[in-house]
Structure 1
Amino acid sequence: MAGLWVCSLLVTGANQGIGLGLVQQFLGLPNPPEWVFAACRDPKGQRAQVRPDLASRHPNLVIIWLEVTDLASIKVAAARVGEQVGGSGLNILINNAGIAKLNLLDTEMLEDMSQIYITNTVGPLLLSQAFLPLLKKAAQGSLGSALSCSKAALINMSSYGGSISSPSSWDLMQVVSYCCSKAALNMLTKCQSLGYREHSILCTALHPGWVQTDVGGSVGHTPPMTVDTSVQGMMKVLSSLSEKDTGTFLDW
């Protein structure tokens, strides 16, 4: 895709759905990244779709076990990626892993809300902290000062459900904990954009649309959008991101 030149990237939640779709799109670029890291909670599980045969066809693909709520797992993954990329660092970290549960306002529970918040909001925070040194290396090794995904970028997969100003999804899906976690993720993205600007790292929250995935279908309705449609749209956005987009929440 024109305008998107990436040496390395890591996608969490890459065993299926949007994460796997992003991995496949990057691998299929005319000039694919030197390294594509597909981070999965259960890469060998029955529901996992990132299979070893995919890695055998793409020697630049590395499948990594990663539990985004486990700090020790995150540190091990960051060390492994660091060993692979060396001094060139990591160009893009895509925090895609997320969960949702259909709990209404009056039935929301402490355990569910805590689990969803830790996965959808705290996880991306911990990952950005662990991979920050690699993102900084990539930024320092890139030519020019303008922010872009080709330099260094942190992409948080958010949701329109987390938009406080436009809660249009309320009548369709009252997934309270999910919406709250994504609103917090949007604020985290803003904080990261301010804190990491000095390191020349672009930070953006991206809405993938209502997509036909396990999370998308968890509200009891069939989502209207396929993974391919969503991912192709997001790839166009990633290729065009610049300084004006850092700290923003975008719907592709």
Structure 2
Amino acid sequence: QTFLPLLKKAAQGSPGSGLSCSKAAIVNVSSTAGSIKELYLWEFAQIVSYRCSKAAQNMLTRCQALGYREHGILCVALHPGWVQTDMGNAVGDTPPLTVDASVRGMLKVLSSLSEKDTGTFLDWEGNAVAW
């Protein structure tokens, strides 16, 4: 009720056409654990409730992309990678990504997003993730 009008206003007040993070964007931080096709790290952590919540969030991203495109709002799901955080370290092995590397990668991806990317599921390197 409060957030959407602000996004619409930002999109309308921004110069240029098309969709981008510099205009208005919803970036849902997701996880490959929410991929229905790829059961990422299943052998290490089933975490079914987490997987289901991320799968639902991914559906929300697709719906937002369809519903908000006409308002100039870009919508994406973004997987930050397996990161060295409390949650990432809980899986067992040491995650390969530092927080700094993940954030730098995500910022690079976000700065390059355009209309063609709305409704997609990408990782911190800009690679498409299977739904």
Q: After TM superposition, is the score higher than 0.5?
A: yes
Following superposition, the deviation at residue 222 of structure 1 comes to: 2.7
Matched, 1:155 2:27: yes
8 Å contact from structure 1 (residues 156, 204) kept in 2: yes
Following superposition, the deviation at residue 208 of structure 1 comes to: 0.3
Corresponding residue for 1:210? 82
TM-score by length of 1: 0.47
Following superposition, the deviation at residue 220 of structure 1 comes to: 4.0
How many pairs were matched up? 124
Q: Tell me which of 68, 71, 86 is aligned to 1:196.
A: 68
Post-superposition Cα deviations, 1:31-68, rounded to whole Å, max 9, x if no partner, equal: xxxxxxxxxxxxxxxxxxxxxxxxxxxxxxxxxxxxxx
Corresponding residue for 1:227? 99
- Which amino acid in structure 2 is aligned with residue 193 of structure 1? A
Q: Which runs of 5+ in 1 are unaligned?
A: 1-128
Determine what percentage of the aligned residue pairs are the same residue: 74
For residues 117-136 of structure 1, the aligned pairs below 5 Å read 129-136=1-8
Q: Which runs of 4+ in 1 moved over 6 A?
A: none
Corresponding residue for 2:120? 248
Post-superposition Cα deviations, 1:211-234, rounded to whole Å, max 9, x if no partner, equal: 011222233443221000101111
Aligned equivalents of 1:225 and 1:173: distance in 2?
18
Task: Please identify the structure whose Cα radius of gyration is greater.
Answer: 1
SS at match of 2:84: coil
Q: Which runs of 5+ in 2 are unaligned?
A: 126-131
8 Å contact from structure 2 (residues 44, 92) kept in 1: no
Aligned equivalents of 1:132 and 1:212: distance in 2?
33
Corresponding residue for 1:177? 49
Aligned equivalents of 2:2 and 2:45: distance in 1?
34
Aligned equivalents of 1:131 and 1:192: distance in 2?
13
Post-superposition Cα deviations, 1:58-94, rounded to whole Å, max 9, x if no partner, equal: xxxxxxxxxxxxxxxxxxxxxxxxxxxxxxxxxxxxx
Corresponding residue for 2:128? none
8 Å contact from structure 1 (residues 175, 219) kept in 2: no
Following superposition, the deviation at residue 167 of structure 1 comes to: 1.1
Following superposition, the deviation at residue 130 of structure 1 comes to: 3.2
Two-structure CA RMSD over aligned residues (Å): 1.2
Matched, 1:141 2:18: no
Following superposition, the deviation at residue 187 of structure 1 comes to: 0.5
Post-superposition Cα deviations, 1:127-149, rounded to whole Å, max 9, x if no partner, equal: xx531111111101011221000
Give the number of the structure with larger relative contact order, counting CA–CA contacts within 8 Å between residues 6 or more apart.
2
